[in-house]
Amino acid sequence: MDYRSLVKVFTAVLILLFACCLAPAQTNDATIDVNGLLDAAQQFAKDNLDDDVLRALQQVDRAQVQDFLKHYQEYLNGDYVLDLAQLKEAAATVLPLLEAHEETQPYAAWLKSRLDYFEAAQEMQALAPVPRPETNAVPSNPTFKVEQEIWVKKVAPRPWPKAAKELVPQLKPIFASERVPEELVWLAEVESGFDASAESPAGALGMFQLMPATAKQYGLSLWPFDERKQPEPAARAAAKQLRRLYGQFGDWRLAVAAYNCGEGRVQKALSRYKTKSYERIATHLPAETQMYVPKVEATISLREGVSLQKLKLPGAL
């Protein structure tokens, strides 16, 4: 295998392992089973990653990644939002590797817009009460209110993303034409920093991180040119998806949560806890969603001076 191919394979493995770290761990066993973990990683790839990453993974010599896996074992054990704090250093290490190679730069753009999740988790971890040793209790997830306060502080000093100055005026009318609050255009800052090339290891693409099935649902072409990378078609598809989710849940926090983790996850939590309130289910949603919703809310409040919950449909009184 030549040097360029080896780099591509290694960076693909990094992407895969990073994605696995975001998934809830199923064991607390401190002894790492390298072959077992890579088997699990390969299954994760089949279920979640696109074909290019999967093909690269299939070429990997397991011995090449053994040492790397050992560094990740502690991150594979947690299943709550505070565990994301442990990924901060790993993410900082992975990012320049992704940025250094053309084929993985879209993944770098995706990761860059999520680095603050790990920073925020670290801040939440510092605020969490320490359980008494005799109880063997695990700290609970922070409340939605605590997460809101942290995200307001984190987002407050940020300038507009460079691309937003041109794109926001261009895309707001598209949201309005789809009868969606135009302020929701700022989802693109949270999803990708307005970087149309951003791509997740799971295959979401573009400023609004649309999955292939969602894009097709709203009439976007994926071949020969992927319209998810084009600002206006992507914005229209995102607006239609948000409109549909709001029609289902009647609440913008729930709609934004469903945009991130899927309406099935949100509906299941609402049914389980017999509620119609996002705040009631917030700590039971995936860790990324727990970060995503208050970050979106803080971003819209900063950019537009309006609360997510007070957004009105165009034409509504």
Which of 191, 199, 227, 297 is the catalytic position? 191
* Three-state secondary structure call for residue 220: coil
pLDDT tens per residue across span 283-298:
999 888 999 999 999 9
In degrees to the nearest 10, what's the CA dihedral of 120, 126, 131, 136? Answer: 60
Q: What is the mean pLDDT of residues 116-135?
A: 80
Tokens 């295959």 correspond to 203
CA distance 303 to 298: 9
Tokens 């009868």 correspond to 179
Phi, psi of 176 (to 5 degrees): -60, -40
- The answer, yes or no, to whether residue 121 has pLDDT greater than 60, is yes
Give Cα separations from 124 to 119, 136, 138, 149, 290 (angstroms): 9, 20, 14, 10, 12
Beta bridge partners of 205: 199, 210
CA distance 142 to 285: 12
- The answer, yes or no, to whether residue 43 has pLDDT greater than 80, is no
pLDDT tens per residue across span 240-266:
999 999 999 999 999 999 999 999 999
Higher-pLDDT residue of 13 and 224 is 224
Average pLDDT over the chain, rounded to an integer: 80
pLDDT at 76: 35
Higher-pLDDT residue of 2 and 311 is 311
pLDDT at 23: 43
Share of the chain above pLDDT 70, in %: 71
- The answer, yes or no, to whether residue 74 has pLDDT greater than 90, is no
Per the structure block, which two tokens stand in for 131? 């359980």
Higher-pLDDT residue of 263 and 67 is 263
- The answer, yes or no, to whether residue 123 has pLDDT greater than 70, is yes
**Can you give the C-alpha Rg of the chain in angstroms?**
20
Count of Cβ atoms closer than 10 Å to residue 187 Cβ: 24
pLDDT at 186: 98
Say whether 89 is catalytic. no
CA distance 28 to 31: 9
Confidence of residue 73 (pLDDT cuts 50, 70, 90): very low
Q: What is the mean pLDDT of residues 167-186?
A: 98
pLDDT at 147: 95
Task: Record the pTM.
Answer: 0.78
Q: What is the DSSP string of 147-182?
A: HHHHHHHHHTTPPPPTTHHHHHHHHHHHHHHTTS-G
Count of Cβ atoms closer than 10 Å to residue 226 Cβ: 18
Among 48-52, 112-116, 130-134, 151-155, name the most confident range.
Answer: 151-155
Domain spans of the chain? 3-123, 144-310
Q: Which CATH architecture has domain 144-310?
A: Orthogonal Bundle (1.10)
Count of Cβ atoms closer than 10 Å to residue 222 Cβ: 13
pLDDT at 81: 82
**Interior angle at CA 290, CA 287 and CA 292, nearest 5:** 105
Share of the chain above pLDDT 90, in %: 55
* Three-state secondary structure call for residue 199: strand
- The answer, yes or no, to whether residue 27 has pLDDT greater than 50, is no
User: What is the distance between the terminal CA atoms of the chain, rounded to a whole angstrom?
Assistant: 64
Q: What is the mean pLDDT of residues 198-202?
A: 84
pLDDT at 269: 95
pLDDT at 60: 35
Using N-to-C axis directions, what is the helix angle for 3-22 and 62-72, rounded to 10°?
Answer: 30
